[in-house]
Amino acid sequence: MKMLETQCPVLYYKGQDENDWIGEEEILSKHDFALILMTKFQQETLQKFGRDKICVDGTHGTNAYDIQLYSVVTVDEFGSGCPVAFCLSNRSDELIFKLFFEKIKLNVGVIDCKVFMTDDAPAFYNAWVATMGPVEHRLLCTWHVDKNWRQNLSKISGGSEKKSLVYKTLRILLQTISVEEFKNNLQNVIIDLKQDKDTSTFGAYFEKYYSKRPECWAYCYRLRLGINTNMYLESFHKVLKHIYLEGKRVKRLDKTINALMKYSRDTLYKRLIKLSKNIPTEKVQRVRQSHNSSKSIKLEQIQIVENKNVYIIKSLSNPSQQHYIIKTDETCTHSSCLTCKKCNICIHTFHCSCIDNIIKANICKHIHACAREFISLDDNTENFVFQDSNMTEQKVLMDMVATSSHHKAHKNQTIISQTEIILGLSTTSEYSNEKLQKIEKKLAEVIAIMNEGGQTHLKAVEEVNVQKKIYPQLRLYSTKKKSSIKTSIEKPSVNEVNAIISGLNDDNNETINVHNVFDHSYS
C-alpha cells in the first residue's frame, strides 16, 4: 500500500511483537496488533454525512487470530450505510478506540454528529466524547440491549415462565412512546422486580445499568431520529463475510484487508451510478410502499377529533390500540425534505404515534390515508420527487476513479491512443498518392523524434537462489477469551402486550400471565 503514495489508506499500523512509539509515549503493548484504514472517498463521505448519524460496532470471524474488525458507518441520502473507517485490532477497550478516533480526527477534523449509536459497551462512546466532543443523542442499539436482557435472565429464579414474563414486560416498557407513561411504568417495573425474591437480583441489575439512563435505550427518547438499531453496520458485516469473503472463515488477515479495500472501491462506483442514474433513495421507496399500503384504510375507519387537525385510526394488527395523527405544519418546499407529491405532503405535515413514523421517521400509511381523504390532492404530478444529481460530486468521484491505483494511466497513453486511431484509419480508408506521401513524411518525422536519444531499457534479470526458502507469511496469534450464553425467549404477542399494559396500569398491581404455548401433542 505504500506504493499508493497520497492514495494510501493506511492511517496507522502496528504489528504484533513490535514496539509502538508515538512521539515519546508508548500507546499499545508489544503483543498488540492495530491497523487503521481510511480511503480518500471515505474521508469525503464522512465529512459530508457524518454530521447526522454515526454508527460504531465490531465484528469477529474475519480472520483466524480473533482480531476484531471495528467499523465507523454513516448514512447517506439514499438511506444506505457507508463504512468510512476500519480498525483491525486484538484489543477491545477504550484505549484502541480513542487511538482509532484520533487518527480519523487527524484526517477529517472534528465530527460533530447529531446521533451516535453503539452497542451497550461504554468504551465506544467514551472514546468518541474524549476525541470529538459530546453528541446530542447517544443511542444504544435496540438489538444489543435486547441481547443483554436475554443473557441476564439467568439471574431470575422461578422457571422459564417468570423469565418470559419479565422479558416481555421489559420489551413493552422499551417500546413505550410517551415519556410520562414510560416514567410511571419504569418505577412500577423496578418495584415489582425488587419485591419478588425470584427477580430481586435481576431487578438490582436492571436498576443499576438501565433505569438511570433511559434516554439511551427507550423509544420515547429517540422520537423521529430515524434510527433504532445498528442494521447499517450489520448489513455491511453480512455483505463483507458472505460475498467478499465468500462465507468462509478466512484465516489470513491480508485477505480480509483485500476484501475491505474491494468493498470501499465498489462503494465508490455504486454511489457514482446512483448519482448519475438518479436512483430513488430508500426513504422515497418506503414512502411509496406506505402510500400503497394506505389504500387498505377506508374513510369510515378514520375518526376526526378536532377541526380536521387530529385524527384517530385503530391499529389493523391490534384493534385495542389507536394511532393518533396530528396535522402540524404546512408542506415544505425544501428540496431535501421527504415528500409525497401525490398526497401533497412532506414529513413535517403530519405526526403519527405509530412506530413507522415516530421511530423510523417515515411518512406512514396512516398519514397517507388522512392526507388522501382530507387534503386536496394533485393527481397530475409524479408520485415522488427525485433530487437532481449532484454534478459537482460526480466530477469529484470521477477524479477519484481516474487517480486511483487501479486505473492509473500510462504516461504515454495519449500516444498509444492516437497510434491506434492511425492504425484503424489506415485499414479502413483509401488515400491518394499525394496524401500518402505527406502521411509517410509526417510519420517519419514522428519516428525520428521518438528515436532521438531513446534507448531501450530492459529490466535486469534477477539472480534467484533456487534453494532459498520463501519468506514466511506474518503469523499472528489470538488473545481473546471465549465465552457464550444463549437464551431463547419470544417477544410478546398482541394479547400479551395488552395484558401486561393493563397490569402495569392496574392499581391492584396485578399482572395477567397470558399462556399462548401449545402444551399437548396427539399421535
Of 376, 400, 423, the residue at which a domain comes to its end is 376
Residue 316 banded pLDDT, cuts 50, 70, 90: confident
Greater pLDDT, 384 or 353: 353
Of 316, 342, 376, the residue at which a domain comes to its end is 376
C-alpha cell at position 80: 444506505
Greater pLDDT, 133 or 321: 133
- Given a contact cutoff of 8 angstroms between Cβ atoms, the answer to whether 75 and 49 are in contact is yes
Say yes or no to pLDDT of 451 above 90.
no
Say if residue 239 is exposed, middle or buried (CB neighbours under 10 Å; 0-12, 13-18, 19+): middle
259 and 132 in a single domain? The answer is yes
Residue 129 lies in a domain: yes
Question: How are beta strands 310-314 and 302-306 bridged, if at all?
Answer: antiparallel
Condensed to tens digits (0 to 9), the pLDDT of residues 328-376 reads 877 676 666 788 888 888 888 889 988 888 888 889 999 999 988 777 5
Least confident segment among 49-63, 184-198, 331-345:
331-345
Of 376, 401, 427, the residue at which a domain comes to its end is 376
Question: How are beta strands 322-327 and 339-340 bridged, if at all?
Answer: unpaired
Range of the domain at 165: 144-221
352 and 291 in a single domain? The answer is yes
C-alpha cell at position 111: 465530527
Q: Centre a 10 Å sphere on the Cβ of residue 61 and count the other Cβ atoms it contains.
A: 16
User: What is the torsion angle, in degrees rounded to the nearest 10, for the CA atoms of residue 338, residue 344, residue 350 and residue 354?
Assistant: -70
Average pLDDT of span 243-266: 89
Residue 495 lies in a domain: no
The structure's pTM equals 0.70
Percent of the chain with pLDDT over 90: 36
128 and 265 in a single domain? The answer is yes
Say yes or no to pLDDT of 412 above 80.
no
| Amino acid code (one letter) for 200 | S
Residue 133 lies in a domain: yes
Say if residue 183 is exposed, middle or buried (CB neighbours under 10 Å; 0-12, 13-18, 19+): middle
Q: How many folded domains does the chain comprise?
A: 3
302 and 249 in a single domain? The answer is no
Say yes or no to pLDDT of 381 above 80.
no
Residue 382 banded pLDDT, cuts 50, 70, 90: very low
| Amino acid code (one letter) for 296 | S
CATH number at residue 127: 3.30.420
- Given a contact cutoff of 8 angstroms between Cβ atoms, the answer to whether 74 and 9 are in contact is no
- Given a contact cutoff of 8 angstroms between Cβ atoms, the answer to whether 500 and 492 are in contact is yes
- Given a contact cutoff of 8 angstroms between Cβ atoms, the answer to whether 67 and 262 are in contact is no
123 and 254 in a single domain? The answer is yes
237 and 124 in a single domain? The answer is yes
